[in-house]
Amino acid sequence: MIKLLHHLGLYFIMMKKVINKPENWGVFRRQLALEMEKVGLNSVVIVIILSFFVGAVVSIQTSINMDNPLLPSYLVGLASRDSLILEFSPTMISLILAGKVGSSIASELGSMRVTEQIDALEIMGINSANFLILPKVIAAVFFFPFLIIISMGVGMLGAWVGGLSANITTADFMFGLKYEFTPFYIKYAIIKTIFFAFIISTVSAYFGYHTKGGAIAVGKASTAAVVASSILILLFNYILTDIILS
Amino acid sequence: MIEIKKIEKYFGNNHVLKNVSFLFERGKTNLIIGESGSGKTTLIKILIGLHKIDSGNILFDGVDFNAIKIKNQRKLRQEIGMLFQGGALYDYMSVEENIMFPLNMFTKKTEIEKIERVNFCLKKVKLEGKNELMPSELSGGMTKRVAIARAIVMQPRYLLCDEPNSGLDPKTAIIIDKLIQEITKEYNITTIVNTHDMNSVMEIGENITFINKGEIWWKGNKDELLNSNNTELNDFVFASELFKRLKKS
Ligand SMILES: Nc1ncnc2c1ncn2[C@@H]1O[C@H](COP(=O)(O)OP(=O)(O)OP(=O)(O)O)[C@@H](O)[C@H]1O
Ligand SMILES: [Mg+2]
């Protein structure tokens, strides 16, 4: 418990340093572009692959489980849509990104810490937390919603393909996809994603930035970052769902 | 000139520096020697504010580092070049970008002026034309030299070097030592070098301080060092056969 408070204290001290005006806008823009690529663009492919196959599996499973002739077959489209938009895309993809992006943020900062690169920034009079972490946070918060929207689209494409293989006609599927569609759900998913992006980037940065020791410590920091951000994502998923949807 | 007065530093219960006072002179390569764990790195990191002191004063040409505003501390830090034990080059930047980085951050020089300055510094450390290499493509000695180039690119008034030649072969180590000494003389800066390498002590030792278990044990120049009767100092300096023989002769 005391340890948790200690971490929280250090986290907020770090965040206070992170949230500051960048020293030099030109250099900041360059960093930001670099991070957009690392944090966002490099995750597009994995998001597409995962979403397509999960979408397909969801629709096949729904159709198998609905072997009752009384249930209309457009339900497959509807169920896939809602499960993708409400949970799979925002939460599951965020968990995957916590693994991919979170560990890379933590190990990058961790190795910069143990090789004294962060010290080298500090002694030049640079606010290293602001310089290194702010671009990552902005890149994640800005880019993750796009990833989630891509995931939704590709997931539904997968669901359609999966539906075809389970003998759901395109017309039925499309009908289900549009049936009682609530646009608010998408907004809800994006709000969640923004929270998750903030959690992943700042929590992972926290663990990386505070690494002490050598190469082994970097590995440990990166594991701790993934575990902590995953738990926090699940916790906030619960809290946010409770607040927003009820 | 850097002066430190009665510094005390604890890490928890570990009393790392005990009542340490120094005067590091301008235009000289001031050496700090001492065995592993004696507090050399801690001392250098205290000078640049990476560690807080528990008591004492640090004066940069009369200005008390801890008594001035954070904004001014940042300014002062830009006048300090630091060479880290491992080089600490930014590993996602090329040699040129590493050296240019402080210029990008803190100056309004044009692109051409910046490149000129970078090439000048690269020439100084005898690495002309290596602009595009990445840190992972450099040898240990080259890494140190690029780090020196980065440390001097802003024309600092102070240069701090933490074990500039650890991990280098004796010949390269001497090249690095000489380079540091040359830069110190040429630009008349206050240089502090941490080392436990006796070759460099003999090579560039002007103002030598021996610290042992966090305390200042001995001060002097290299001739005095050779003739000293201080037991701990002799145990440290003449640990190797070669230096024992040197003393006898
Ligand atoms: N960040 C830190 N937190 C706690 N203790 C530390 C820290 N840095 C150094 N120490 C302790 O301070 C003492 C002096 O360490 P320091 O790194 O200054 O030695 P050194 O003389 O540079 O040694 P070496 O020649 O091996 O580099 C050691 O006992 C070390 O354990
Ligand atoms: Mg050291």
Tell me, yes or no, if the pTM score tops 0.90.
no
Cα A203 to averaged position of ligand 2 atoms, centre (Å): 30
A131, closest residue in chain B (CA to CA): B105
8 Å CB contact of B89 and A117: yes
**In terms of pLDDT, which residue wins out, A132 or B49?**
A132
- Tell me, what's the pLDDT at A246? 76
The answer to whether B220 touches B75, Cβ cutoff 8 Å, is no
Q: Is B38 in the pocket of ligand 1 (CB under 6 A)?
A: yes
Question: Which of A42, A112, A116, A136 to mutate: most B Cβ within 10 Å?
Answer: A116
CA gap A241, A159 in Å, rounded: 24
Query: Where in chain A are the domains?
Result: 25-245
Q: For residue B100, what is the nearest residue in chain A, using CA coordinates?
A: A27
Strands B158-162 and B215-220: unpaired
Hey, which residues does B17 pair with through a beta bridge?
B9
Say if residues A176 and A78 touch (Cβ distance below 8 Å): yes
Q: Is B75 on the interface with A (CB under 8 A)?
A: yes
Judged by DSSP in three states, B239 sits in: coil
The percent of residues in chain A predicted with pLDDT above 90, rounded, is 65
DSSP three-state, residue B120:
helix
pLDDT band, very low/low/confident/very high, at A87 (cuts 50, 70, 90): confident
> Quick one: pLDDT at residue B73?
86
Of A86, A129, A105, the residue nearest A43 (C-alpha):
A105
Q: Render pLDDT for A29-78 as a digit per residue (tens, 0 to 9).
A: 999 999 999 988 899 999 999 999 999 999 998 888 877 777 777 888 88
User: What one-character-per-residue DSSP string does A28-87 give?
Assistant: HHHHHHHHIIIIIGGGHHHHHHHHHHHHHHHHHHHHHHT--TTS-TTHHHHHHHHHIIII
Question: Domain B1-36+47-79+160-249 belongs to what topology?
Answer: Rossmann fold (3.40.50)
More confident residue, B147 or B232: B147
Interface test with A, best of B79, B82, B105 (most A CBs within 10 A): B105
Average predicted confidence (pLDDT) for chain B: 88
CB–CB contact B78 A124 (8 Å): yes
The set of residues, in sequence order, having a beta carbon less than 8 Å from that of B191 and lying 6+ positions away, is: B24, B28, B29, B30, B158, B159, B160, B161, B180, B181, B183, B184
Mean pLDDT, rounded, for B22-29: 90
In which band, very low, low, confident or very high, does the pLDDT at B249 lie, cut at 50, 70 and 90?
Answer: low
CA gap B177, B185 in Å, rounded? 13
What residues does CATH 3.40.50.300 cover in chain B? 1-36+47-79+160-249
Pocket test for ligand 1, best of B7, B10, B14 (most atoms within 8 A of CB): B14
**Pairs of residues, one from chain A and one from chain B, whose beta carbons lie less than 8 Å apart:** 51
A26 contacts in chain B (CB < 8 Å) = 104
Question: Could you read off the pLDDT of B165-220 as tens digits, one per residue?
Answer: 887 888 888 888 888 999 999 999 999 999 888 888 888 878 899 998 888 888 88
DSSP annotation string for A131-193? HHHHHHHHHHHHHHHHHHHHHHHHHHHHHHHHHHHTT--HHHHHHHHHTT--THHHHHHHHHH
Q: CB B50 to CB A122 under 8 A?
A: yes
> Exposed, middle or buried: residue B132 (CB in 10 Å: 0-12, 13-18, 19+)?
exposed
Question: Cα torsion at B115, B119, B124, B125 (round to 10°)?
Answer: 110
In percent, the amount of chain B with pLDDT more than 90 equals 49
Determine, for residues A116 and B48 on separate chains, whether the beta-carbon distance falls below 8 Å: no
Q: Which residue of B has its CA nearest to A116?
A: B88
